[in-house]
Amino acid sequence: MKNAKNYYTILQISRQATVAQIKEAYRRLARQYHPDLHPNDPISEDKFKEVCEAYEILINPDKRIQYDRNLPEDFETKKKDSSSAKSLYIQGINKALDKNYQGAIKDYNQAIKLKHNFLEAYVKRCEAYFNLNQDHQVLADCQSIIRIDSHCFEGYYYLGRSRQRLGYLNGAIEAYTQAIDIKNDSAYSYYYRALSYDELDDKIKALNDLHKAANIFEIKGDFRGLQLAQNKINYINKKINPIEQLFNRDFSTPKTSIIKLIFTTSFNIIIDPGGRILSSWSKLTPKQALIIGCFYGLLGNIINVLNIYINKQDMLSQTYLINLFILGLFPFISLTILSLIFYLINHRIPNLASIIFVVGASLLPATLIIMTNFLNLPNFVKLILMIFALCYTILILYNGCLQIFNFSEKNSAFVSSTMITIISLNIWLFS
């Protein structure tokens, strides 16, 4: 048993711990390392398994007695200072959970005196100081944390939070960037860096970070965080210059990434136009939304012209096809202009990227129906598919206006109805 796992150390309790203390330690650590909170994290998964294994042994009186017999007799004396520091650290955590931050700080101070480079105690004391708005103490602890471990995420994260709260925005951005370099799935690092960019009036970078944060929040199932990011995106979009958004210098997205995004976005919108259009849009940067929206608008027009050309190629001239293509752009352009007008009527600055995304997405069902014309289907089947596509288009337009444009339900219903009328007019012109 010399090399056996030390279950007391795993549960962060003393050898004299009561059943209640064992249960409390297990619940706390199980929450901390649960796989549902750390997907695709093998380290957390292994720690969770160790915690469960330790709890199973120590909570059973017979198994615990047998386990204790095989522990080295000098276990307590060899680890006295370390165990005392660990016990104080656990006491501090329990007090912090009860929001007794001053009491927690006293325990962390004693733990650090016993174990000078106790990184976890520094991190928890830093969190307690942050919750008490004692930012200068937070900054001092962050420096100590980074000195002990230059790759400690929490050191840079809280450094950013306190610098931001003190108004040192560029320093905060630098700290958040270092935190993200260590842990690139930290949604809140992106979120708070976005807030710093926004305060510095760099709204494009703020939006890019907010979209990344929203994506990570959704993947992790943090819907409160997703709502926070989405609300901020909508707030910034009301103020941002659409020309700046369109011609921003960071207009670079790998082709493979765009192609993957197009397929993923299309699938989500077709599967659930009401529930997934907002989440699909929130995963995109303004440039990606612009590209995908334009792609949808052009794709339907190209397929429509190609379909007419294949069926009537002997009767059509090249000039006629060009005119047909130009006419086919009418619904996309007119819906975009109409959306811009409604934005202005509502006394809001238009968000060009979101408008083009919603307009393009609304034409996606019609595009898929046009593609079925290449198949020799009975007319009644085509009619059913057209009605089906129309219903999808209505859902996309309504939910796009309601969720992405943030129009009221009344305005969303009116705008989507007007847009459907324009699309129907275009179909009539083509026929």
> What digits encode the pLDDT tens for the residues 208-264?
899 999 989 988 888 888 999 989 988 888 776 555 444 444 444 444 478 888 888
179-188, 204-213, 340-349: range with lowest mean pLDDT: 340-349
| Alpha carbons 369 and 364: distance in angstroms, whole number | 9
**Does the pLDDT of residue 417 top 90, yes or no?**
no
| Alpha carbons 118 and 115: distance in angstroms, whole number | 5
Q: What DSSP state is assigned to residue 191?
A: H
- For residue 121, the one-letter residue type is A
Are 57 and 43 in contact, with CB atoms under 8 Å apart? Answer: no
Cα-Cα end-to-end distance for the chain: 84
The class level of CATH for 85-246 reads mainly alpha
Q: Which residue has the higher pLDDT, 47 or 177?
A: 177
Q: Which residue has the higher pLDDT, 83 or 76?
A: 83
Model's pTM, two decimal places? 0.44
Q: Which residue has the higher pLDDT, 422 or 256?
A: 422
| CATH 1.25.40.10 boundaries in the chain | 85-246
Share of the chain above pLDDT 70, in %: 82
41-45, 311-315, 319-323: range with lowest mean pLDDT: 311-315
54-68, 139-153, 323-337: range with lowest mean pLDDT: 323-337
| Alpha carbons 29 and 97: distance in angstroms, whole number | 13
The continuous run of DSSP H or E covering 171 comes out as helix 169-182
Question: What are the residues whose beta carbons fall under 8 Å from the beta carbon of 233, sequence distance 6 or more?
Answer: 207, 210, 211, 214, 282
Residue environment code for 385-402, b if the CB has 16+ CB neighbours within 10 A, otherwise e: beeebbebbbbbbbbbbb
| CATH 1.10.287.110 boundaries in the chain | 7-75
304 half-sphere exposure, CB direction, 13 A CA radius: 26
The two counts, helices (H) then strands (E), for the chain are 24, 0
Fold held by 7-75: Helix Hairpins (1.10.287)
What's the chain's average pLDDT? 80
